[in-house]
């Protein structure tokens, strides 16, 4: 039986949330806030930038930019994180309605100061609603999609599960496929894609697991056993959707 457990959050997952559909107005506000922040970063307007961040982020940043050299470094990093262009891949809102996430594919310019060539990268921008307005909370680079490391193969070989080792793995669901005898979930963990094997669809349903939890873009954490030799294969015995 596929048991559903509760796990302590992984650092990466702490800023992610299970998502519900986003209203068009909210999506427009998110991108508008993101664009305003980038415009302020290009102009070097720290005060404006901070006004677009959450109160918690404002306090943390202000505590770190007391000295001029620290402010200069903050602006350098802010410019480095400002894309020259981007496209929205997905928009999600937390079930509470007070958090949301933009998934972007962004193009970043070459930057000599940090020895960076022109770079394409996926990025996740999280927001929280404060006083009725969306504020930027965090920005997490996810890597170049063309350089994602994929599993060597997707063969289901349960005898290769290392039953002497237990662990957890969490990330964004890329794809879920149901096969006779098992379920395959492709899980994106930063710049790697992992094959997670679950029981067959019928067994998942009998255990009471809502199959929509395995929809793409949901963030899920699984417990179970790793493959004996392939670190990008995992055999799940339990799991939970990550929610706000």
CATH numbers and ranges of domains, the chain: 19-146 (3.10.450.50), 148-241 (2.40.50.140)
What is the structure's pLDDT at 11?
Answer: 34
What is the structure's pLDDT at 4?
Answer: 36
**Do 182 and 161 contact (CB within 8 A), yes or no?**
no
* Closest to 176 (Cα-Cα) out of 139, 155, 201: 201
- Per-residue CA distances from 23 to 54, 68, 89, 222 (Å): 21, 41, 15, 30
Task: Look up residue 152 and give its two tokens.
Answer: 């060597």
What is the structure's pLDDT at 92?
Answer: 87
- Per-residue CA distances from 9 to 76, 94, 232 (Å): 31, 16, 20
What is the structure's pLDDT at 201?
Answer: 96
Q: What is the pLDDT along the chain (244 residues), one digit of tens a residue?
A: 344 333 333 334 433 444 445 556 778 999 999 999 999 999 999 999 999 999 999 999 999 999 999 999 999 999 999 999 999 999 988 878 899 999 999 999 999 999 999 999 999 999 999 999 999 999 988 889 999 999 999 999 999 999 999 999 999 999 999 999 999 999 998 889 999 999 999 999 999 999 999 999 998 999 999 999 999 999 999 999 886 4
**Do 241 and 219 contact (CB within 8 A), yes or no?**
yes
What is the structure's pLDDT at 15?
Answer: 39
Quote the pTM value: 0.76
Distance CA 114, CA 51 (A): 26
What is the structure's pLDDT at 134?
Answer: 95
Q: In 5-18, which positions are buried (b, 16+ CB within 10 angstroms) versus exposed (e)?
A: eeeeeeebbebbbb
């Amino acid at each position: 039986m596929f048991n559903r457990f509760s796990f302590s959050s992984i650092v990466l997952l702490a800023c992610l949330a299970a998502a519900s559909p986003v209203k068009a107005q909210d999506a427009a506000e998110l991108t508008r806030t993101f664009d305003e922040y980038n415009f302020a970063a290009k102009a070097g307007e720290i005060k404006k930038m901070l006004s677009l961040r959450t109160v918690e982020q404002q306090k943390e940043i202000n505590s770190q930019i007391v000295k001029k050299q620290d402010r200069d470094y903050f602006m350098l990093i802010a410019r480095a994180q400002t894309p020259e262009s981007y496209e929205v891949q997905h928009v999600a809102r937390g079930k509470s309605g007070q958090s949301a996430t933009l998934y972007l594919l962004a193009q970043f310019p070459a930057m000599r100061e940090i020895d960076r060539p022109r770079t394409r990268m996926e990025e996740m921008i999280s927001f929280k609603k404060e006083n009725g307005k969306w504020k930027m909370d965090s920005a997490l680079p996810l890597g170049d999609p063309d350089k994602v490391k994929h599993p060597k193969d997707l063969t289901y070989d349960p005898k290769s599960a290392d039953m002497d080792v237990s662990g957890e793995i969490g990330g964004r669901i890329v794809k879920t496929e149901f096969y006779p005898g098992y379920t395959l979930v492709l899980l994106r963990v930063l710049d790697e894609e992992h094959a997670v094997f679950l029981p067959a669809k019928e067994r998942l349903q009998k255990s009471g697991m809502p199959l929509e939890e395995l929809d793409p873009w949901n963030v899920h954490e699984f417990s179970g056993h790793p493959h004996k030799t392939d670190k990008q294969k995992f055999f799940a015995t339990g799991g939970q959707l990550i929610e706000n």
